[in-house]
């Protein structure tokens, strides 16, 4: 009997010792940045298309924001502000909201990618350090709450039509000389022709920001459209070194096909949305933002990016306009090649122009209209740092880069800028991050 009581006492002591530790976990914004960068790395590895990548960024960012917003009364939940998003559950135990937010972000991000093991390995190494000296029950309860919120966000994501669009028919290419045709070297099929069916986050519908109609197709010499085609050809043949650098800096093609003889290999790069997610990190680190503001910046920017792709892709497959490369090769110079590889989807409007300006408006609403920064996002891809006086300055350079790259006519760029800015303005007007009455008192 004494041995039984002694064994019971030792067991209780052992569990008590394992459960001892501090009940506080401090997670810096750098940990959230590193986790986002890891997600970007896997998105590049798995070669997700730009529209799909924007969805992958949005849901984890929103989940992270929703948890952290519970820690700061100056910030508002996005429930009821984003389409069909309901309030996340409350924790039933004492938890670290910062750890729960990190867990939710990683769990959500892992759910949307292919190479789950890469995120699993990252998480195991990260959490091994975070749990040192921390009360075990508290740590596990925080993870459980993060998982609970992630499941709530996943249930919301499940209703956005993404899974259904995986089964929709592929885009049909016709012989119509005005319509988009696959381009060399890969002659890839059109990417995400049904993306306009994806449920928007903040905008009312995919058709809310339909741009002006593209210039009527007419390859008669001297016609307005012919002049637009010739502008792409002329600019492409007379690029300065600076213009070439700008085009390459904003290329952001996730799958560039390189052909040498009969050998074809791919170069993987970050998506346009991924580039702007990188700019979020740059802005946050320059201002040394705390986790709450960091999460707000990622959430609002990712919402603008995701809705920007939905709006732009709606127009792309409505106008279904042929790319410059196809027309120049057929009517002007069969040997001509654009500086950048032509992306596999219709021309109008320019995706970079739309999403870059939407993201710039979102970031300006958080950091200000004249936030200067050095953009080193593309350094890992062998490109130099570029400096900008504002987010709009960067977005407008991203837009014109598509002319330098030889892949867009000017109306797609100019009207895409207008489309993106209008969408971005709508997003920041509709999505309120701050509880203004509290924020004003704090100021």
DSSP state string for 133-164: TB-HHHHHHHHHHHHHHHHHHHHHHTTSSHHH
Residue 282: the pLDDT is 98
Residues 432 and 320 in one domain: yes
Domain match, 156 and 227 both: no
The ranges of the chain with pLDDT < 70 are: 1-20, 259-265, 437-443
> Is there a single domain that holds both residue 53 and residue 111?
yes
Q: Indicate whether 158 and 211 sit together in one domain.
A: no
Q: How far apart are CA 137 and CA 22, in angstroms?
A: 11
Q: Which stretches of 211-290 are DSSP H helices?
A: 224-237, 241-249, 272-287
State which of 147, 162, 177 marks the end of a domain: 162
Same domain, 428 and 285: yes
Whether 375 and 237 share a structural domain: yes
Q: Can you tell me whether residue 256 is helix, strand or coil?
A: strand
The answer on 238 and 152 residing in a single domain is: no
The answer to whether the beta carbons of residues 264 and 251 sit under 8 Å apart is: no
Burial category of 6 from C-beta neighbours within 10 Å (exposed 0-12, middle 13-18, buried 19 and up): exposed
Q: Is residue 126 part of a domain?
A: yes
210: which 2 tokens? 């339909």
- 156 and 211 co-located in one domain: no
Q: Are residues 215 and 360 in the same domain?
A: yes
SS3 label, residue 247: helix
The HSE-up count of residue 242 (CA atoms within 13 Å, CB side) is 3
* Distance from C-alpha of 352 to C-alpha of 415, rounded to nearest angstrom: 12
In whole angstroms, give the CA distance from residue 133 to residue 182.
57
Dist CA 193 CA 190 (whole Å):
7
The verdict on 375 and 303 lying in the same domain is yes
Count of the separate structural domains present in the chain: 2
The span from the CA of 358 to the CA of 362, in Å, is: 6
The maximal CA–CA distance of the chain, rounded, in angstroms, is 104
- Whole-prediction pTM value? 0.94
132, 162, 192: which is the final residue of a domain? 162
Rounded to the nearest 5 degrees, what angle is found at the Cα of 54, between the Cα atoms of 407 and 166? 90
- Look up the CATH number of the domain holding residue 360: 1.10.606.20
Residue 120 lies in a domain: yes
In the three-class reduction of DSSP (H, G, I as helix; E, B as strand; rest coil), residue 343 is classed as coil
Token pair, residue 145, equals 């709450």
Judge whether 89 lies within some domain.
yes
Q: Are residues 64 and 211 in the same domain?
A: no
Question: What pLDDT sits at residue 263?
Answer: 63
The structure tokens listed for 434 are 């701050």
Note whether residue 12 is domain-resident: no
Q: Are residues 265 and 332 in the same domain?
A: yes
Q: Specify if 18 maps to a domain.
A: no
The parent domain of residue 400 ranges over 207-442
Give a yes or no: residue 86 inside a domain. Answer: yes
User: How confident is the model at residue 8, as a pLDDT?
Assistant: 34
- The CATH number covering residue 115 comes to 1.20.144.10
Q: Is 228 helix (H, G, I), strand (E, B) or coil?
A: helix
190 domain residue, yes or no: no
Q: Which of 141, 162, 183 is the last residue of a domain?
A: 162
- Evaluate the CA torsion angle 420, 422, 425, 426 in order and state its sign: negative
Q: Which two tokens stand for residue 364?
A: 């300006």
Q: Is residue 172 part of a domain?
A: no
């Amino acid at each position: 009997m004494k041995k039984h009581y002694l064994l019971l006492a030792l067991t209780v002591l052992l569990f008590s010792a394992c459960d001892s530790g501090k009940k506080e976990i401090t997670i810096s914004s750098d940990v959230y940045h590193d986790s986002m960068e890891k997600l970007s790395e896997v998105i590049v590895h798995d070669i997700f298309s730009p529209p799909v990548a924007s969805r992958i960024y949005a849901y984890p960012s929103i989940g992270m924001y929703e948890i952290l917003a519970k820690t700061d009364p100056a910030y508002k939940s996005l429930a009821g502000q984003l389409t069909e998003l309901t309030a996340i559950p409350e924790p039933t135990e004492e938890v670290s909201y910062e750890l729960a937010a990190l867990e939710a972000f990683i769990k959500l991000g892992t759910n949307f990618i292919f190479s789950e093991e890469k995120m699993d390995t990252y998480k195991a190494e990260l959490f091994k350090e975070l749990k040192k000296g921390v009360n075990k029950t508290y740590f596990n309860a925080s993870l459980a709450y993060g998982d609970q919120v992630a499941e709530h966000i996943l249930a919301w994501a499940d209703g956005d039509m993404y899974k259904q669009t995986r089964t929709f028919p592929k885009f049909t290419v016709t012989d119509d000389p005005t319509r988009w045709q696959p381009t060399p070297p890969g002659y890839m099929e059109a990417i995400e022709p049904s993306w306009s069916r994806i449920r928007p986050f903040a905008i009312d519908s995919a058709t809310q920001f339909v741009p002006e109609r593209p210039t009527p197709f007419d390859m008669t010499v001297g016609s307005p459209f012919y002049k637009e085609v010739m502008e792409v050809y002329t600019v492409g043949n007379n690029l300065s070194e600076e213009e070439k650098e700008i085009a390459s800096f904003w290329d952001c093609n996730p799958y560039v096909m390189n052909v040498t003889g009969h050998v074809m290999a791919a170069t993987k790069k970050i998506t346009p949305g991924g580039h702007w997610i990188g700019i979020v990190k740059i802005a946050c680190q320059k201002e040394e933002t705390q986790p709450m503001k960091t999460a707000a910046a990622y959430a609002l920017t990712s919402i603008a990016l995701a809705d920007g792709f939905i709006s732009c892709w709606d127009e792309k497959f409505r106008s279904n306009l042929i790319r410059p490369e196809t027309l120049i090769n057929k009517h002007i110079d069969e040997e001509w090649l654009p500086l950048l590889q032509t992306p596999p989807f219709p021309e109008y409007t320019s995706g970079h122009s739309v999403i870059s300006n939407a993201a710039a408006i979102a970031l300006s609403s958080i950091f200000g209209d004249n936030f200067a920064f050095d953009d080193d996002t593309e350094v890992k891809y062998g490109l130099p740092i570029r400096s900008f006086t504002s987010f709009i300055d960067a977005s407008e350079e991203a837009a014109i880069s598509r002319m330098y790259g030889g892949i867009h006519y000017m109306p797609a760029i100019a009207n895409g800028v207008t489309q993106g800015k209008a969408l971005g303005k709508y997003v920041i007007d509709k999505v309120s991050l701050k509880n203004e009455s509290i924020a004003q008192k704090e100021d």
